[in-house]
Amino acid sequence: MSTERKVDATADDVKGKVKEGVGKVTDDQSLETEGKGDQAKGKVKQAVEDVKDVFKKD
């Protein structure tokens, strides 16, 4: 996985966790849901890059 893409995926995950936490604290369901979506987006990016890495090794 390229370093840039890894950082991007991690940034989405962290951003999502922050949004989810702020949403919980402020009782903002919309922000909490958006945070969970950002986390999912980061995990999908990570998974795609992991698959790419598997095929690059062959």
Res 58: pLDDT: 55
Res 28: pLDDT: 98
Q: Per-residue pLDDT tens, the chain, 58 aa: give them.
A: 477 888 899 999 999 999 999 999 999 999 999 999 999 999 999 999 888 888 876 5
Res 57: pLDDT: 66
Res 54: pLDDT: 83
Determine the residue type at 42: G
Res 30: pLDDT: 98
Other Cβ atoms less than 10 A from the Cβ of 28: the count is 14
- Which residues are CB-contacts of 27 (< 8 A; sequence separation ≥ 6)? none
The helices-and-strands tally (H runs, E runs) of the chain is 2, 0
Instruction: Give SS3 for 32.
Output: helix
